[in-house]
Amino acid sequence: MRNALRTRKSIPFVVGGLLIGLVGGVVAQPLPDAKTYAANPALLIDAYRHVEVSSVSDALEQLYNKRSFMSHKIHAISDGKFAGFAVTVQMDKVEGSAPAAVVPMQVVLDTAAPNSVYVMVVQDGDDIAGIGGLMATAMNARGFSGAVIDGGVRDVSYLRKIGFPVYATGIVPSTSVGHYRATGNVPVTAGGVRVTPGDIVIGDADGVVTIPKDIAAETLVKAQALDQTEHSMYGYIEKLRSLQEAVKRFGRL
């Protein structure tokens, strides 16, 4: 199952407070307000797929003085922009553990709803593959939006073949089975950022950001405004060949 957004050929962007989509023509509609987004989780998550991660990071800092971007060590292994609701797994090192010790991570996979983002933290896990092809296949089939692993991954050729977005610290051939114990759907700290089940997690080529669910709607509206301003500045900079003039006009950098 592929996420419809990743196969859609439209290119949505914001102009003058309108969401524009090119699908056999131009269709414009006003952007909802924060109250509307808060009341409609499906609309909220779809809108988060249309904003830039850097704008969301800026919005969280400007509104709440909050750092919510994960460390640069967590980067795209299998490319793809994603947004979804966090489901979490904590992997604690227990050498010689029984295979059943990792069953809780399987339960998380098999019970999560579509539009989930799998967030796994592997203790001392840079050289341990938290997921591989089997788990990515399960997530893909269940309509997950992506996966973020504070640790390694394996079966990378297959991950890229199926086009499932995975962000991690690196690529290693190892296994966690026999070395770790899993705990499902608990708060975790991934890439230096606290993630609680149900929070929104988004990623693109610039990195990964998590948004606490109780401030997600307000953050989205601010990020949309920042996107709109930045996209409007491009043409102005090109026309005047001056960054300073654009900053004076639009009031941001």
The three-class DSSP label of residue 23 is: coil
pLDDT for the residue 30? 78
Mean pLDDT computed over 88-116: 96
pLDDT tops 60 at residue 6 = no
CA 6 vs. chain centroid, Å, equals: 13
Percent of the chain surpassing pLDDT 90: 75
pLDDT tops 80 at residue 53 = yes
Confirm if 5 and 49 have CB atoms less than 8 A apart.
yes
pLDDT for the residue 29? 66
Query: What is the dihedral angle through the alpha carbons of 123, 124, 129, 134, rounded to the nearest 10 degrees?
Result: 0
pLDDT tops 60 at residue 19 = no
pLDDT tops 70 at residue 207 = yes
pLDDT for the residue 251? 60
pLDDT tops 60 at residue 246 = no
The three-class DSSP label of residue 166 is: strand
**Alpha helix ranges (H) inside 85-177:** 103-111, 133-141, 156-162
Percent of the chain surpassing pLDDT 70: 79
pLDDT tops 80 at residue 16 = no
How would residue 130 be classed by pLDDT, with cut points 50, 70 and 90? very high
pLDDT for the residue 232? 60
Query: Tokens standing for 27?
Result: 């269709």
Range with the poorest average pLDDT among 16-25, 39-48, 232-241: 16-25
d(CA 86, CA 197): 5
How would residue 148 be classed by pLDDT, with cut points 50, 70 and 90? very high
Residue tagged 């005047």 (tokens): 240
What is the pTM assigned to this prediction? 0.82
pLDDT tops 70 at residue 247 = no
Mean pLDDT computed over 196-215: 97
pLDDT for the residue 150? 98
Domains of the chain: 4-67+218-250 (no CATH), 75-211 (3.50.30.40)
pLDDT 10s digits, 213-235 = 999 999 999 999 888 776 566 56
Q: Which residue has the higher pLDDT, 103 or 227?
A: 103
How would residue 89 be classed by pLDDT, with cut points 50, 70 and 90? very high
pLDDT for the residue 226? 87
Within 10 Å of residue 95's Cβ, how many Cβ atoms? 7
pLDDT for the residue 156? 97
